[in-house]
Copies of this chain bind each other. A is one copy, B any other.
Amino acid sequence: MLESCLIPEMASEITLQPVRRHDVDAAIFFSDIVIPLKLAGIGVEIKPGVGPVLDTPIRSAADIAKLPELTDDMFEPISDAVKLTVAELGSRPLIGFAGAPYTVAAYMVEGRPSRDHLGPRTMMHQDPESWDRLMTWTAEASGRFLRAQILAGASAGQLFDSWAGSLSRTNYQHKVMPYSQQALEHVADLTGEQGIPLVHFGTGTGEILDLMRDAGASVVGVDYRMRLDEVNRRLGNTPGPDGRTNVVLQGNIDPALLDADWDVLEAHVRDVIAQGADAPGHMLNLGHGVPPTTDPTVLTRLVELIHSIDY
Protein backbone atom coordinates (compact mmCIF):
# COMPACT_ATOMS: atom_id res chain seq x y z
CA MET A 1 0.00 0.00 0.00
CA LEU A 2 2.64 2.56 1.02
CA GLU A 3 5.00 1.40 -1.75
CA SER A 4 2.26 1.99 -4.33
CA CYS A 5 1.93 5.58 -3.07
CA LEU A 6 5.62 6.14 -3.83
CA ILE A 7 5.72 4.73 -7.37
CA PRO A 8 4.49 7.73 -9.41
CA GLU A 9 2.94 5.64 -12.23
CA MET A 10 1.04 3.52 -9.76
CA ALA A 11 -0.16 6.36 -7.50
CA SER A 12 -1.33 8.18 -10.62
CA GLU A 13 -3.11 5.13 -12.04
CA ILE A 14 -4.96 4.48 -8.76
CA THR A 15 -5.93 8.16 -8.56
CA LEU A 16 -7.36 8.02 -12.08
CA GLN A 17 -9.31 4.75 -11.81
CA PRO A 18 -12.37 6.13 -9.95
CA VAL A 19 -12.51 9.06 -12.40
CA ARG A 20 -12.59 6.70 -15.40
CA ARG A 21 -15.01 4.29 -13.78
CA HIS A 22 -17.47 6.67 -12.11
CA ASP A 23 -16.98 9.98 -13.98
CA VAL A 24 -16.61 11.99 -10.77
CA ASP A 25 -16.00 15.73 -11.24
CA ALA A 26 -12.61 15.73 -9.50
CA ALA A 27 -9.91 13.26 -8.55
CA ILE A 28 -8.52 12.97 -5.04
CA PHE A 29 -4.81 12.19 -4.95
CA PHE A 30 -4.21 8.58 -3.87
CA SER A 31 -1.90 8.60 -0.89
CA ASP A 32 -1.80 7.91 2.83
CA ILE A 33 -1.65 10.01 5.96
CA VAL A 34 1.70 8.46 6.98
CA ILE A 35 3.43 8.96 3.60
CA PRO A 36 5.37 12.04 4.79
CA LEU A 37 6.79 9.89 7.63
CA LYS A 38 7.84 7.20 5.15
CA LEU A 39 9.42 9.82 2.86
CA ALA A 40 11.33 11.23 5.84
CA GLY A 41 12.80 7.79 6.48
CA ILE A 42 10.69 6.79 9.48
CA GLY A 43 9.94 3.05 9.56
CA VAL A 44 6.21 2.60 8.97
CA GLU A 45 4.07 0.06 7.17
CA ILE A 46 0.36 -0.64 6.68
CA LYS A 47 -0.54 -3.93 8.42
CA PRO A 48 -3.57 -5.65 6.87
CA GLY A 49 -6.59 -5.42 9.15
CA VAL A 50 -4.74 -3.03 11.49
CA GLY A 51 -3.58 0.10 9.65
CA PRO A 52 -0.37 2.13 9.87
CA VAL A 53 2.20 0.66 12.29
CA LEU A 54 5.50 2.39 13.14
CA ASP A 55 8.66 0.39 13.86
CA THR A 56 9.23 2.63 16.90
CA PRO A 57 6.56 4.88 18.43
CA ILE A 58 7.62 8.51 19.03
CA ARG A 59 6.92 9.04 22.73
CA SER A 60 9.70 10.92 24.48
CA ALA A 61 11.47 14.26 24.11
CA ALA A 62 14.49 12.25 22.92
CA ASP A 63 12.43 10.49 20.22
CA ILE A 64 11.11 13.85 19.02
CA ALA A 65 14.58 15.44 19.02
CA LYS A 66 15.73 12.68 16.66
CA LEU A 67 12.99 13.29 14.05
CA PRO A 68 14.62 13.78 10.63
CA GLU A 69 14.88 17.18 9.00
CA LEU A 70 12.35 17.62 6.20
CA THR A 71 13.52 18.73 2.76
CA ASP A 72 11.69 19.50 -0.47
CA ASP A 73 13.42 16.77 -2.47
CA MET A 74 11.90 14.09 -0.22
CA PHE A 75 8.58 14.79 -1.90
CA GLU A 76 9.76 14.22 -5.48
CA PRO A 77 7.86 10.92 -5.99
CA ILE A 78 4.72 12.79 -4.94
CA SER A 79 5.36 15.70 -7.32
CA ASP A 80 6.02 13.23 -10.14
CA ALA A 81 2.79 11.33 -9.44
CA VAL A 82 0.79 14.55 -9.38
CA LYS A 83 2.31 15.75 -12.67
CA LEU A 84 1.46 12.46 -14.40
CA THR A 85 -2.07 12.61 -13.00
CA VAL A 86 -2.76 16.21 -13.92
CA ALA A 87 -1.59 15.56 -17.49
CA GLU A 88 -4.14 12.74 -17.80
CA LEU A 89 -6.97 14.62 -16.08
CA GLY A 90 -6.90 17.58 -18.44
CA SER A 91 -9.37 20.19 -17.22
CA ARG A 92 -10.74 17.98 -14.47
CA PRO A 93 -9.33 19.12 -11.10
CA LEU A 94 -7.08 17.10 -8.82
CA ILE A 95 -7.57 17.56 -5.08
CA GLY A 96 -4.36 17.22 -3.09
CA PHE A 97 -4.36 15.21 0.14
CA ALA A 98 -2.57 15.37 3.50
CA GLY A 99 -3.23 14.15 7.02
CA ALA A 100 -3.58 16.94 9.58
CA PRO A 101 -0.85 17.30 12.22
CA TYR A 102 -2.93 15.85 15.08
CA THR A 103 -3.92 12.70 13.21
CA VAL A 104 -0.34 12.16 12.03
CA ALA A 105 0.98 12.79 15.56
CA ALA A 106 -1.59 10.36 17.01
CA TYR A 107 -0.21 7.57 14.80
CA MET A 108 3.34 8.54 15.76
CA VAL A 109 2.74 8.53 19.53
CA GLU A 110 0.53 5.43 19.61
CA GLY A 111 2.65 3.71 16.96
CA ARG A 112 -0.57 2.32 15.47
CA PRO A 113 -4.30 3.12 15.18
CA SER A 114 -6.08 3.41 18.53
CA ARG A 115 -9.64 4.03 19.59
CA ASP A 116 -9.15 6.78 22.16
CA HIS A 117 -5.73 8.25 21.22
CA LEU A 118 -4.79 8.34 24.89
CA GLY A 119 -1.04 8.65 24.20
CA PRO A 120 -1.19 11.96 22.30
CA ARG A 121 -4.01 13.24 24.49
CA THR A 122 -1.91 12.64 27.60
CA MET A 123 1.26 14.11 26.05
CA MET A 124 -0.37 17.43 25.12
CA HIS A 125 -1.02 18.11 28.84
CA GLN A 126 1.79 16.19 30.47
CA ASP A 127 4.64 17.50 28.33
CA PRO A 128 3.46 20.59 26.42
CA GLU A 129 6.97 21.36 25.14
CA SER A 130 7.42 17.95 23.54
CA TRP A 131 3.90 18.20 22.15
CA ASP A 132 4.73 21.57 20.61
CA ARG A 133 7.90 20.19 19.01
CA LEU A 134 6.16 17.09 17.68
CA MET A 135 3.21 19.06 16.29
CA THR A 136 5.51 21.67 14.77
CA TRP A 137 7.29 18.83 12.96
CA THR A 138 4.07 17.16 11.75
CA ALA A 139 2.66 20.55 10.68
CA GLU A 140 5.75 21.06 8.54
CA ALA A 141 5.50 17.52 7.16
CA SER A 142 1.81 17.93 6.28
CA GLY A 143 2.36 21.43 4.90
CA ARG A 144 5.28 20.44 2.66
CA PHE A 145 3.40 17.34 1.49
CA LEU A 146 0.41 19.45 0.44
CA ARG A 147 2.61 22.17 -1.07
CA ALA A 148 4.45 19.65 -3.25
CA GLN A 149 1.10 18.50 -4.65
CA ILE A 150 -0.21 21.98 -5.37
CA LEU A 151 3.08 23.14 -6.94
CA ALA A 152 2.95 20.05 -9.18
CA GLY A 153 -0.51 20.96 -10.42
CA ALA A 154 -3.20 19.99 -7.91
CA SER A 155 -6.12 22.46 -8.09
CA ALA A 156 -7.17 22.17 -4.46
CA GLY A 157 -5.94 20.69 -1.20
CA GLN A 158 -7.63 18.68 1.54
CA LEU A 159 -6.39 18.35 5.10
CA PHE A 160 -7.75 15.18 6.78
CA ASP A 161 -7.98 15.29 10.56
CA SER A 162 -9.48 11.84 11.05
CA TRP A 163 -9.18 11.91 14.83
CA ALA A 164 -10.06 15.57 15.56
CA GLY A 165 -13.44 14.40 16.87
CA SER A 166 -11.71 12.64 19.76
CA LEU A 167 -10.83 16.00 21.32
CA SER A 168 -12.71 18.48 23.45
CA ARG A 169 -13.21 21.87 21.82
CA THR A 170 -10.79 23.45 24.32
CA ASN A 171 -8.06 20.93 23.56
CA TYR A 172 -8.61 21.25 19.82
CA GLN A 173 -8.46 25.03 20.01
CA HIS A 174 -5.27 25.29 22.05
CA LYS A 175 -3.34 22.11 21.32
CA VAL A 176 -4.20 21.24 17.71
CA MET A 177 -5.73 24.08 15.69
CA PRO A 178 -2.58 26.27 15.73
CA TYR A 179 -0.64 23.47 14.04
CA SER A 180 -3.32 22.78 11.41
CA GLN A 181 -3.09 26.50 10.74
CA GLN A 182 0.71 26.19 10.37
CA ALA A 183 0.24 23.30 7.92
CA LEU A 184 -2.20 25.32 5.81
CA GLU A 185 0.11 28.36 5.91
CA HIS A 186 2.61 26.32 3.87
CA VAL A 187 0.25 26.71 0.91
CA ALA A 188 -1.37 30.06 1.80
CA ASP A 189 0.71 31.99 -0.77
CA LEU A 190 -0.36 29.54 -3.48
CA THR A 191 -4.02 29.70 -2.56
CA GLY A 192 -3.84 33.47 -2.37
CA GLU A 193 -2.54 33.92 -5.91
CA GLN A 194 -4.42 31.18 -7.67
CA GLY A 195 -7.58 30.99 -5.59
CA ILE A 196 -7.00 27.34 -4.73
CA PRO A 197 -9.63 25.98 -2.33
CA LEU A 198 -8.46 24.28 0.87
CA VAL A 199 -10.80 21.70 2.39
CA HIS A 200 -10.52 20.82 6.08
CA PHE A 201 -12.22 17.53 6.98
CA GLY A 202 -12.64 15.40 10.10
CA THR A 203 -15.23 13.07 11.64
CA GLY A 204 -17.37 13.81 14.69
CA THR A 205 -16.38 17.47 14.44
CA GLY A 206 -19.75 19.13 15.14
CA GLU A 207 -18.30 21.11 18.06
CA ILE A 208 -15.25 22.47 16.22
CA LEU A 209 -16.37 23.21 12.65
CA ASP A 210 -15.89 26.95 13.14
CA LEU A 211 -12.35 26.40 14.43
CA MET A 212 -11.56 24.14 11.47
CA ARG A 213 -12.70 26.97 9.18
CA ASP A 214 -10.72 29.57 11.13
CA ALA A 215 -7.55 27.45 10.82
CA GLY A 216 -7.43 28.74 7.25
CA ALA A 217 -9.82 26.55 5.25
CA SER A 218 -12.03 27.88 2.48
CA VAL A 219 -14.14 24.71 2.54
CA VAL A 220 -15.26 22.78 5.63
CA GLY A 221 -15.79 19.06 5.14
CA VAL A 222 -18.63 17.61 7.20
CA ASP A 223 -19.11 13.95 8.02
CA TYR A 224 -22.50 12.20 7.81
CA ARG A 225 -23.38 12.99 11.44
CA MET A 226 -24.36 16.65 11.01
CA ARG A 227 -27.16 18.08 8.85
CA LEU A 228 -25.70 20.61 6.43
CA ASP A 229 -28.47 23.13 7.13
CA GLU A 230 -27.53 23.01 10.81
CA VAL A 231 -23.82 23.38 9.94
CA ASN A 232 -24.58 26.35 7.74
CA ARG A 233 -26.69 27.96 10.47
CA ARG A 234 -23.99 27.31 13.05
CA LEU A 235 -21.09 28.64 10.97
CA GLY A 236 -23.09 31.62 9.78
CA ASN A 237 -23.77 32.51 13.40
CA THR A 238 -20.19 32.35 14.56
CA PRO A 239 -18.04 34.73 12.53
CA GLY A 240 -14.32 34.01 12.59
CA PRO A 241 -11.67 36.49 13.78
CA ASP A 242 -11.22 37.69 10.19
CA GLY A 243 -14.90 38.60 9.92
CA ARG A 244 -15.83 35.73 7.59
CA THR A 245 -19.30 34.54 8.46
CA ASN A 246 -19.68 31.73 6.02
CA VAL A 247 -17.77 29.04 4.20
CA VAL A 248 -18.27 26.53 1.40
CA LEU A 249 -19.37 23.11 2.67
CA GLN A 250 -18.22 19.67 1.55
CA GLY A 251 -20.35 16.63 2.36
CA ASN A 252 -22.10 14.51 3.42
CA ILE A 253 -23.92 11.50 1.93
CA ASP A 254 -24.11 8.77 4.59
CA PRO A 255 -21.96 5.84 3.40
CA ALA A 256 -24.29 3.47 5.27
CA LEU A 257 -26.95 4.25 2.65
CA LEU A 258 -24.78 3.07 -0.26
CA ASP A 259 -25.85 -0.45 0.73
CA ALA A 260 -29.55 0.43 0.96
CA ASP A 261 -32.13 0.25 -1.83
CA TRP A 262 -31.73 2.82 -4.59
CA ASP A 263 -34.91 4.71 -3.64
CA VAL A 264 -33.67 5.15 -0.09
CA LEU A 265 -30.26 6.35 -1.30
CA GLU A 266 -31.72 8.72 -3.91
CA ALA A 267 -34.10 10.35 -1.41
CA HIS A 268 -31.16 10.82 0.99
CA VAL A 269 -28.96 12.39 -1.71
CA ARG A 270 -31.71 14.84 -2.69
CA ASP A 271 -32.17 15.71 0.97
CA VAL A 272 -28.43 16.37 1.42
CA ILE A 273 -28.49 18.69 -1.61
CA ALA A 274 -31.50 20.55 -0.20
CA GLN A 275 -29.80 20.90 3.20
CA GLY A 276 -26.72 22.42 1.59
CA ALA A 277 -28.69 24.93 -0.52
CA ASP A 278 -28.00 27.96 1.66
CA ALA A 279 -24.21 27.49 1.72
CA PRO A 280 -22.24 29.83 -0.55
CA GLY A 281 -21.01 26.67 -2.28
CA HIS A 282 -21.48 22.92 -1.82
CA MET A 283 -19.00 20.21 -2.85
CA LEU A 284 -21.25 17.14 -2.76
CA ASN A 285 -19.46 13.98 -1.65
CA LEU A 286 -19.62 11.14 0.85
CA GLY A 287 -19.62 11.95 4.55
CA HIS A 288 -16.90 9.30 5.13
CA GLY A 289 -15.10 6.58 3.13
CA VAL A 290 -16.73 4.05 0.79
CA PRO A 291 -17.49 0.84 2.76
CA PRO A 292 -15.68 -2.25 1.44
CA THR A 293 -19.09 -3.93 0.93
CA THR A 294 -20.35 -1.26 -1.50
CA ASP A 295 -21.31 -2.39 -5.00
CA PRO A 296 -19.21 -0.15 -7.31
CA THR A 297 -22.08 0.13 -9.81
CA VAL A 298 -24.02 2.02 -7.12
CA LEU A 299 -21.28 4.66 -7.11
CA THR A 300 -21.49 5.03 -10.89
CA ARG A 301 -25.27 5.40 -10.72
CA LEU A 302 -24.93 7.87 -7.84
CA VAL A 303 -22.67 10.14 -9.90
CA GLU A 304 -25.14 9.94 -12.81
CA LEU A 305 -27.96 10.95 -10.49
CA ILE A 306 -26.00 13.89 -9.10
CA HIS A 307 -25.07 15.06 -12.60
CA SER A 308 -28.77 15.00 -13.53
CA ILE A 309 -29.70 17.35 -10.67
CA ASP A 310 -29.40 21.10 -11.16
CA TYR A 311 -28.21 22.47 -7.81
Contact = CB atoms under 8 A, between A and B. Distances in A.
B118 A293 contact: yes
Contacts of A288: 116
A16 B114 CA distance: 30
Interface string A105-140: 000000000001110011001100000000000000
A165 interface: yes
A227 B126 contact: no
Given A125-B260, A126-B261, A260-B126, A227 B116 contact: no
Oligomeric state, in number of copies?
A: 2
A170 to B, nearest CB: 7
Interface stretch (A73-81, A191-199, A249-257, A277-285): A249-257
A168 B224 contact: yes
A125 B257 contact: yes
Contact of A225 (B122, B168, B227, B259): B168
A202 to B, nearest CB: 12
Interface string A54-67: 00000000000000
Contact of A255 (B116, B206, B207, B225): B116
Interface residues of A, number: 33
A167 interface: yes
Interface string A159-186: 0000001111110000000000000000
A225 B207 contact: yes
Contacts of A169: 225-227, 230
Nearest to A126: B260
A93 interface: no
A241 interface: no
Given A204-B165, A206-B207, A207-B206, A125 B256 contact: yes
A264 interface: yes
A237 to B, nearest CB: 14
Contacts of A291: 116, 118
Interface string A252-280: 00111101110010001000000000000
Contacts of A225: 166-169, 207
A264 B227 contact: no
Given A125-B264, A126-B264, A261-B126, A256 B168 contact: no
A257 B128 CA distance: 13
A22 to B, nearest CB: 20
A122 B165 contact: no
Contacts of A168: 224-227, 254
B254 A121 contact: yes
Contacts of A204: 165, 204
B126 A259 contact: yes
**Most chain B beta carbons < 10 A, residue from A116, A168, A227:** A168
A118 B165 contact: no
Contacts of A170: 227
